[in-house]
Amino acid sequence: MGDRSYGAAGSNAMQLWPPEVEAERAEARQVVAAAIAGFRDFLRPPGELAGDAASRARNQREHVNRNLVTVPEAIDREIAGVRCRVLVPERLPATGVYLHFHGGGMIMGLPEMNDVPNRDLTRRHGLAVVSVDYRLAPEHPWPAGPDDGVAVAAWLLENAEREFGTRRLIVGGESAGGYMSAAVLLRARDELRAADRFLGANLVFGVYDWGRSPSQRGVLPHDGPDVLVEEDVAFIAECYLPGRTDEERRDPAISPAFADLRGLPPALMSVGTCDHLLDDTLMLASRWAVAGNPVELFVAPDMPHGFTFFPCAMTRRFAGVTTAWFTRILASG
Protein backbone atom coordinates (compact mmCIF):
# COMPACT_ATOMS: atom_id res chain seq x y z
CA MET A 1 0.00 0.00 0.00
CA GLY A 2 1.44 3.37 -0.99
CA ASP A 3 3.08 4.28 -4.29
CA ARG A 4 6.79 4.41 -4.99
CA SER A 5 7.02 8.19 -4.70
CA TYR A 6 4.77 8.58 -1.66
CA GLY A 7 5.12 5.43 0.43
CA ALA A 8 7.77 4.26 2.87
CA ALA A 9 9.70 2.04 0.49
CA GLY A 10 12.25 -0.29 2.07
CA SER A 11 11.04 0.24 5.64
CA ASN A 12 9.08 -2.01 7.98
CA ALA A 13 7.79 1.03 9.85
CA MET A 14 4.31 2.14 8.90
CA GLN A 15 4.53 5.65 7.49
CA LEU A 16 1.38 7.22 6.12
CA TRP A 17 3.22 10.18 4.60
CA PRO A 18 6.85 10.72 3.57
CA PRO A 19 9.31 12.77 5.65
CA GLU A 20 9.25 15.75 3.29
CA VAL A 21 5.58 16.33 4.10
CA GLU A 22 6.56 17.28 7.65
CA ALA A 23 8.02 20.51 6.28
CA GLU A 24 4.66 21.29 4.66
CA ARG A 25 2.48 20.85 7.74
CA ALA A 26 2.92 24.31 9.27
CA GLU A 27 1.88 26.03 6.05
CA ALA A 28 -1.06 23.65 5.67
CA ARG A 29 -2.34 24.47 9.17
CA GLN A 30 -2.06 28.20 8.48
CA VAL A 31 -3.93 27.95 5.19
CA VAL A 32 -6.71 25.86 6.73
CA ALA A 33 -7.09 28.21 9.71
CA ALA A 34 -7.38 31.21 7.39
CA ALA A 35 -9.80 29.68 4.89
CA ILE A 36 -11.98 27.13 6.66
CA ALA A 37 -14.64 29.62 7.75
CA GLY A 38 -15.11 30.70 4.13
CA PHE A 39 -15.38 27.08 2.99
CA ARG A 40 -18.01 26.40 5.64
CA ASP A 41 -19.92 29.48 4.47
CA PHE A 42 -19.83 28.08 0.91
CA LEU A 43 -21.41 24.84 2.10
CA ARG A 44 -24.01 26.22 4.54
CA PRO A 45 -26.50 29.08 4.28
CA PRO A 46 -26.22 31.72 7.02
CA GLY A 47 -28.12 31.13 10.25
CA GLU A 48 -29.32 27.98 11.90
CA LEU A 49 -30.19 24.97 9.76
CA ALA A 50 -33.68 24.34 11.08
CA GLY A 51 -36.82 22.62 9.91
CA ASP A 52 -37.53 19.13 8.64
CA ALA A 53 -34.83 17.13 6.83
CA ALA A 54 -36.13 17.88 3.34
CA SER A 55 -36.28 21.65 3.98
CA ARG A 56 -32.83 21.70 5.53
CA ALA A 57 -31.31 19.73 2.66
CA ARG A 58 -33.11 21.91 0.09
CA ASN A 59 -31.77 25.11 1.70
CA GLN A 60 -28.23 23.75 1.61
CA ARG A 61 -28.60 22.71 -2.03
CA GLU A 62 -29.90 26.08 -3.12
CA HIS A 63 -27.11 27.87 -1.26
CA VAL A 64 -24.33 25.74 -2.79
CA ASN A 65 -25.82 25.81 -6.27
CA ARG A 66 -25.75 29.62 -6.35
CA ASN A 67 -21.95 29.54 -6.11
CA LEU A 68 -21.08 27.02 -8.82
CA VAL A 69 -18.50 27.79 -11.53
CA THR A 70 -19.23 26.07 -14.84
CA VAL A 71 -17.32 25.71 -18.11
CA PRO A 72 -18.77 25.96 -21.64
CA GLU A 73 -17.08 22.74 -22.76
CA ALA A 74 -19.33 20.67 -20.47
CA ILE A 75 -22.69 19.69 -21.90
CA ASP A 76 -25.80 18.24 -20.32
CA ARG A 77 -26.87 14.88 -21.62
CA GLU A 78 -29.39 12.30 -20.49
CA ILE A 79 -27.81 8.86 -20.16
CA ALA A 80 -29.89 5.87 -19.08
CA GLY A 81 -32.56 8.31 -17.90
CA VAL A 82 -30.11 10.25 -15.70
CA ARG A 83 -28.83 13.77 -16.36
CA CYS A 84 -25.07 13.77 -16.77
CA ARG A 85 -22.44 16.41 -17.37
CA VAL A 86 -20.22 15.28 -20.26
CA LEU A 87 -16.81 16.52 -21.40
CA VAL A 88 -15.08 15.13 -24.47
CA PRO A 89 -11.44 15.67 -25.53
CA GLU A 90 -10.72 17.63 -28.69
CA ARG A 91 -9.71 14.47 -30.51
CA LEU A 92 -11.25 11.04 -30.35
CA PRO A 93 -10.73 8.30 -29.50
CA ALA A 94 -10.54 9.23 -25.85
CA THR A 95 -7.89 7.50 -23.75
CA GLY A 96 -10.68 6.30 -21.46
CA VAL A 97 -13.95 7.38 -19.86
CA TYR A 98 -13.92 8.78 -16.32
CA LEU A 99 -17.23 7.94 -14.64
CA HIS A 100 -17.39 10.69 -12.02
CA PHE A 101 -19.62 11.28 -9.00
CA HIS A 102 -19.83 14.64 -7.24
CA GLY A 103 -19.76 15.26 -3.49
CA GLY A 104 -22.39 16.73 -1.20
CA GLY A 105 -23.15 14.12 1.46
CA MET A 106 -25.81 12.41 -0.66
CA ILE A 107 -28.12 15.38 0.12
CA MET A 108 -26.77 18.15 -2.12
CA GLY A 109 -24.39 18.90 -4.97
CA LEU A 110 -24.41 18.79 -8.75
CA PRO A 111 -21.99 17.56 -11.43
CA GLU A 112 -21.26 21.22 -12.21
CA MET A 113 -19.29 21.38 -8.95
CA ASN A 114 -16.47 19.60 -10.76
CA ASP A 115 -16.66 21.22 -14.19
CA VAL A 116 -13.25 22.86 -13.83
CA PRO A 117 -11.24 19.86 -12.49
CA ASN A 118 -13.03 17.50 -14.87
CA ARG A 119 -12.14 19.75 -17.80
CA ASP A 120 -8.54 19.66 -16.60
CA LEU A 121 -8.63 15.84 -16.63
CA THR A 122 -9.96 15.90 -20.18
CA ARG A 123 -7.27 18.29 -21.34
CA ARG A 124 -4.38 16.66 -19.48
CA HIS A 125 -5.15 13.00 -20.06
CA GLY A 126 -7.44 12.90 -23.11
CA LEU A 127 -10.25 11.38 -21.05
CA ALA A 128 -13.94 11.72 -21.73
CA VAL A 129 -15.74 12.55 -18.47
CA VAL A 130 -19.30 11.56 -17.59
CA SER A 131 -20.34 13.12 -14.26
CA VAL A 132 -23.63 11.81 -12.92
CA ASP A 133 -26.46 13.90 -11.45
CA TYR A 134 -27.69 11.09 -9.22
CA ARG A 135 -30.81 11.39 -7.06
CA LEU A 136 -30.39 12.84 -3.59
CA ALA A 137 -31.76 12.15 -0.11
CA PRO A 138 -33.90 12.62 1.87
CA GLU A 139 -36.37 12.65 -1.03
CA HIS A 140 -34.55 9.71 -2.61
CA PRO A 141 -32.80 7.61 0.07
CA TRP A 142 -30.66 4.52 -0.53
CA PRO A 143 -30.49 2.86 -3.00
CA ALA A 144 -31.69 5.57 -5.42
CA GLY A 145 -28.31 7.29 -5.88
CA PRO A 146 -26.31 4.09 -6.49
CA ASP A 147 -29.11 2.81 -8.74
CA ASP A 148 -28.59 5.86 -10.97
CA GLY A 149 -24.84 5.32 -10.96
CA VAL A 150 -25.19 1.67 -11.94
CA ALA A 151 -27.59 2.59 -14.76
CA VAL A 152 -25.05 5.03 -16.23
CA ALA A 153 -22.22 2.51 -15.74
CA ALA A 154 -24.23 -0.15 -17.58
CA TRP A 155 -24.86 2.28 -20.44
CA LEU A 156 -21.14 3.09 -20.69
CA LEU A 157 -20.23 -0.60 -20.72
CA GLU A 158 -22.47 -0.99 -23.76
CA ASN A 159 -21.87 2.31 -25.54
CA ALA A 160 -18.54 3.90 -24.53
CA GLU A 161 -16.66 2.50 -27.50
CA ARG A 162 -19.24 3.76 -29.97
CA GLU A 163 -19.57 7.17 -28.30
CA PHE A 164 -16.00 7.90 -27.23
CA GLY A 165 -13.85 5.39 -29.11
CA THR A 166 -12.74 3.47 -26.02
CA ARG A 167 -13.96 0.62 -23.83
CA ARG A 168 -11.74 1.61 -20.88
CA LEU A 169 -13.37 3.05 -17.77
CA ILE A 170 -12.11 4.71 -14.60
CA VAL A 171 -14.45 5.57 -11.73
CA GLY A 172 -13.95 8.27 -9.12
CA GLY A 173 -15.33 11.05 -7.01
CA GLU A 174 -15.00 13.17 -3.90
CA SER A 175 -16.70 12.79 -0.49
CA ALA A 176 -20.14 11.30 -1.22
CA GLY A 177 -18.80 10.82 -4.74
CA GLY A 178 -16.04 8.60 -3.36
CA TYR A 179 -18.71 6.50 -1.69
CA MET A 180 -20.78 6.43 -4.89
CA SER A 181 -17.73 5.32 -6.87
CA ALA A 182 -16.98 2.41 -4.54
CA ALA A 183 -20.63 1.37 -4.31
CA VAL A 184 -21.16 1.49 -8.08
CA LEU A 185 -17.91 -0.37 -8.74
CA LEU A 186 -18.93 -3.17 -6.38
CA ARG A 187 -22.30 -3.48 -8.09
CA ALA A 188 -20.66 -3.38 -11.52
CA ARG A 189 -18.58 -6.36 -10.40
CA ASP A 190 -21.48 -8.30 -8.89
CA GLU A 191 -24.46 -7.36 -11.07
CA LEU A 192 -22.84 -6.45 -14.40
CA ARG A 193 -19.86 -8.85 -14.19
CA ALA A 194 -17.71 -6.01 -15.49
CA ALA A 195 -15.01 -5.25 -12.89
CA ASP A 196 -12.37 -6.01 -15.52
CA ARG A 197 -13.55 -3.07 -17.66
CA PHE A 198 -12.48 -0.59 -14.95
CA LEU A 199 -8.81 0.39 -14.99
CA GLY A 200 -8.92 2.09 -11.61
CA ALA A 201 -10.85 3.89 -8.86
CA ASN A 202 -9.99 7.40 -7.63
CA LEU A 203 -11.60 7.56 -4.16
CA VAL A 204 -11.19 10.98 -2.52
CA PHE A 205 -12.13 11.41 1.17
CA GLY A 206 -15.26 9.26 0.86
CA VAL A 207 -17.65 7.78 3.41
CA TYR A 208 -17.41 3.99 3.37
CA ASP A 209 -18.80 3.06 6.81
CA TRP A 210 -22.35 4.34 7.21
CA GLY A 211 -22.39 2.86 10.72
CA ARG A 212 -20.26 5.77 11.97
CA SER A 213 -16.57 4.94 12.17
CA PRO A 214 -14.63 6.28 15.20
CA SER A 215 -13.53 9.42 13.34
CA GLN A 216 -17.15 10.08 12.31
CA ARG A 217 -17.96 10.05 16.04
CA GLY A 218 -15.27 12.67 16.70
CA VAL A 219 -12.39 10.39 17.72
CA LEU A 220 -9.63 11.99 15.64
CA PRO A 221 -5.83 11.89 15.94
CA HIS A 222 -5.40 15.67 15.51
CA ASP A 223 -7.19 18.65 17.01
CA GLY A 224 -7.34 20.79 13.89
CA PRO A 225 -10.61 22.12 12.46
CA ASP A 226 -12.79 20.20 10.04
CA VAL A 227 -15.51 21.23 7.63
CA LEU A 228 -17.68 18.45 9.06
CA VAL A 229 -18.87 18.00 12.63
CA GLU A 230 -20.43 14.94 14.22
CA GLU A 231 -23.94 16.39 13.89
CA ASP A 232 -23.46 16.81 10.12
CA VAL A 233 -22.49 13.16 9.73
CA ALA A 234 -25.46 11.97 11.79
CA PHE A 235 -27.90 14.16 9.84
CA ILE A 236 -26.60 12.96 6.48
CA ALA A 237 -26.82 9.31 7.55
CA GLU A 238 -30.39 9.71 8.76
CA CYS A 239 -31.39 11.40 5.48
CA TYR A 240 -29.78 8.70 3.36
CA LEU A 241 -30.60 5.68 5.52
CA PRO A 242 -33.65 6.66 7.57
CA GLY A 243 -34.72 4.48 10.46
CA ARG A 244 -31.74 2.12 10.33
CA THR A 245 -29.43 1.35 13.24
CA ASP A 246 -25.67 1.77 12.90
CA GLU A 247 -25.32 -2.00 12.58
CA GLU A 248 -27.94 -2.14 9.83
CA ARG A 249 -26.12 0.65 8.01
CA ARG A 250 -23.05 -1.58 7.93
CA ASP A 251 -24.79 -3.99 5.57
CA PRO A 252 -22.15 -4.69 2.87
CA ALA A 253 -24.70 -3.63 0.25
CA ILE A 254 -24.67 -0.16 1.86
CA SER A 255 -21.18 0.31 3.36
CA PRO A 256 -18.30 -0.58 0.98
CA ALA A 257 -15.83 -0.98 3.86
CA PHE A 258 -17.76 -4.11 4.95
CA ALA A 259 -18.06 -5.63 1.47
CA ASP A 260 -16.11 -8.44 -0.16
CA LEU A 261 -13.44 -6.40 -1.97
CA ARG A 262 -11.82 -9.13 -4.07
CA GLY A 263 -11.39 -8.70 -7.79
CA LEU A 264 -11.36 -4.90 -7.89
CA PRO A 265 -9.03 -2.61 -9.88
CA PRO A 266 -6.16 -0.48 -8.55
CA ALA A 267 -7.26 2.44 -6.39
CA LEU A 268 -5.93 5.79 -5.27
CA MET A 269 -7.45 6.70 -1.90
CA SER A 270 -6.94 10.10 -0.29
CA VAL A 271 -7.90 11.69 3.04
CA GLY A 272 -6.77 14.25 5.62
CA THR A 273 -6.07 13.40 9.25
CA CYS A 274 -8.51 16.03 10.60
CA ASP A 275 -11.31 14.67 8.41
CA HIS A 276 -14.26 13.08 10.22
CA LEU A 277 -14.11 10.46 7.45
CA LEU A 278 -10.45 9.59 8.09
CA ASP A 279 -11.11 6.09 9.42
CA ASP A 280 -13.36 5.25 6.49
CA THR A 281 -10.47 5.62 4.03
CA LEU A 282 -7.91 3.92 6.28
CA MET A 283 -10.21 0.92 6.73
CA LEU A 284 -11.19 0.65 3.08
CA ALA A 285 -7.60 1.01 1.87
CA SER A 286 -6.34 -1.71 4.21
CA ARG A 287 -9.12 -4.13 3.28
CA TRP A 288 -8.73 -3.30 -0.45
CA ALA A 289 -5.04 -4.22 -0.24
CA VAL A 290 -5.57 -7.39 1.83
CA ALA A 291 -8.12 -8.50 -0.79
CA GLY A 292 -5.29 -8.47 -3.33
CA ASN A 293 -5.94 -5.19 -5.12
CA PRO A 294 -3.26 -2.52 -5.63
CA VAL A 295 -3.78 0.58 -3.47
CA GLU A 296 -2.01 3.91 -3.33
CA LEU A 297 -2.83 5.87 -0.19
CA PHE A 298 -2.41 9.63 0.17
CA VAL A 299 -2.80 10.86 3.75
CA ALA A 300 -2.60 14.62 4.27
CA PRO A 301 -1.63 15.40 7.89
CA ASP A 302 -3.54 18.23 9.60
CA MET A 303 -5.89 18.62 6.64
CA PRO A 304 -9.71 18.59 6.90
CA HIS A 305 -12.47 17.11 4.82
CA GLY A 306 -12.39 18.67 1.37
CA PHE A 307 -8.66 19.44 1.71
CA THR A 308 -8.35 19.96 -2.05
CA PHE A 309 -10.01 23.37 -1.58
CA PHE A 310 -7.06 24.66 0.52
CA PRO A 311 -4.19 25.65 -1.82
CA CYS A 312 -0.78 24.96 -0.30
CA ALA A 313 2.28 22.78 -0.91
CA MET A 314 0.48 19.71 0.40
CA THR A 315 -2.44 20.06 -1.98
CA ARG A 316 -0.04 20.70 -4.85
CA ARG A 317 1.68 17.45 -3.87
CA PHE A 318 -1.69 15.71 -3.95
CA ALA A 319 -2.39 17.10 -7.42
CA GLY A 320 0.95 15.72 -8.61
CA VAL A 321 0.28 12.30 -7.09
CA THR A 322 -3.17 12.20 -8.69
CA THR A 323 -1.82 13.21 -12.11
CA ALA A 324 0.88 10.54 -11.91
CA TRP A 325 -1.70 7.93 -10.88
CA PHE A 326 -3.97 8.70 -13.85
CA THR A 327 -0.95 8.59 -16.16
CA ARG A 328 0.13 5.16 -14.87
CA ILE A 329 -3.40 3.73 -14.90
CA LEU A 330 -4.00 4.83 -18.48
CA ALA A 331 -0.62 3.45 -19.55
CA SER A 332 -1.31 0.08 -17.92
CA GLY A 333 -4.65 -0.73 -19.51
Contact 164, 228 (CB under 8 A): no
Catalytic residue among 115, 125, 175, 215: 175
**Which residues are CB-contacts of 245 (< 8 A; sequence separation ≥ 6)?**
none
Cα–Cα dist 237/211, whole Å = 8
For the stretch 280-333, pLDDT in tens is 999 999 999 999 999 999 999 999 999 999 999 999 999 999 999 999 999 986
CA torsion sign for 177, 178, 182, 188 is positive
What domains lie within the chain, and their CATH numbers? 19-332 (3.40.50.1820)
Active site annotation includes 305: yes
Mean pLDDT of 25-47: 91
Mean pLDDT of 143-166: 98
Mean pLDDT of 273-278: 98
pLDDT over 50 at 4, yes or no: no
Active site annotation includes 276: no
Cα–Cα dist 215/304, whole Å = 12
Mean pLDDT of 216-235: 94
Q: How much is the mean pLDDT over the chain? A: 94
Catalytic residue among 275, 279, 280, 302: 275
Half-sphere exposure of 212 (CA within 13 A, CB side): 19
**Which residues are CB-contacts of 51 (< 8 A; sequence separation ≥ 6)?**
59
pLDDT over 80 at 2, yes or no: no
pLDDT over 60 at 85, yes or no: yes
Mean pLDDT of 224-238: 94
Which pLDDT belongs to residue 49? 62
pLDDT over 90 at 43, yes or no: no
For the stretch 94-106, pLDDT in tens is 999 999 999 999 9
